[in-house]
Amino acid sequence: MNIVTIELNGISYHVIDEGAGIPILLLHGFPDSNKLWHRMIPLLTGRGYRVIAPDLRGYGDTALAGDAENYSVALSAKDLFDLLLALDIRKIKVVGHDWGAILGWYLAAHYPTIVESYTALSVGHPKAYFRRGTIKQLFKGSYVGLFLQRGLAEKVFSAGNYFVLRKMAVESEELKQQWLHDMTRPGRLTAGFNWYRGNFSLKNSGHLFNLPNVSMPVLGIIGQNDPALTTEQMVRSGHYVNGSFQHHIIEDEGHWLPETCPEQLVELITAFHQSY
């Protein structure tokens, strides 16, 4: 795997840059790193893509960013824009999962000249989540309240030899080992929670609650059995897409789709890219 280290706005980024051809940007979420994509990368490069997969701020081998405010999607989106310029990429297809999906929605809305299309995995447009959400979605997302509690969330997650983190990885033993390797290092668990704390702060919450519509073609994919997100919030994301919008619900799948059904994702993404 070809790895590059790039300094972006004072943050040292660890980035996979693999393959040649059509550029595609893969954005992971909590509590992952670019290792989330390890099953999809060879499939994508085999289809003629050049995969760009960074460890986002505070994750994997990318540097910690300090206070929670430094984890806003606005700052990370600027990092990604600068990353693509540094790699001499002027147009790119974007795929995001979990917080990476929220970041992808922000990137698509605010950097439309560089984002050619967007594929959102699991998480729909923030307005579909917050404004068109159901009681069921509020219940499924109730864990966020814990994540916002500085110190308490860290204690809960680290208790019992990181029992909660282990429990979250029911879909994959490999995911569990990756998370335990990455998130038990000093400062890394807090950095992951800072994505929640920094973006739900009074200063930065408007980035999500008031996110504009996006104009490029969008594909939304969600697992039918996602424990944290309803299929409705993905389907209703079409209200916030001015271009074409497609959605696909994968039966009998949960949250970590890149790990559990990479082949199906690549098929869906490739077909989507060929449809516009």
Where on the phi/psi map is residue 5: left (φ > 0), alpha (ψ -120 to 50), or beta?
Answer: beta
* Phi, psi of 43, rounded to the nearest 5 degrees: -70, -40
Which token pair is 165?
């983190």
For residue 22, give both structure tokens: 């059509």
Residues 240-275 as b or e (16 or more Cβ within 10 Å = b): bbeeebbbeebeebbbbbbbbbbeebbebbeebbee
**Minimal CA–CA distance to 123: which of 141, 149, 111, 139?**
141
Task: Return the structure tokens found at 140.
Answer: 């499924």
Model pLDDT, residue 1:
85
- The total of other beta-carbon atoms located within 10 Å of residue 136's CB is 11
CA distance 68 to 200: 10
Q: How far is CA 192 from CA 117, 161, 212, 255, in A?
A: 27, 18, 25, 17
**Which residue is listed with tokens 């050049």?**
50
pLDDT at 207: 79
Residue 172 near residue 255 (C-beta atoms within 8 A): no
Q: How far apart are CA 70 and CA 104, in angstroms?
A: 17
d(CA 116, CA 157): 38
Give the model's pLDDT for residue 48. Answer: 97
Point out the residues of the chain with pLDDT beneath 50.
none
Let me know if 159 is exposed, middle or buried by CB neighbors in 10 A (0-12, 13-18, 19+): exposed
Q: Residue 225: phi, psi to the nearest 5?
A: -105, 30
pLDDT for residue 203: 85
pTM of the model: 0.97
| Residue 87 Cα distances to 6, 84, 93, 137, 201, angstroms | 10, 5, 14, 39, 32
pLDDT at 133: 55
User: Residue 248: in which H helix or E strand, if any?
Assistant: strand 245-250
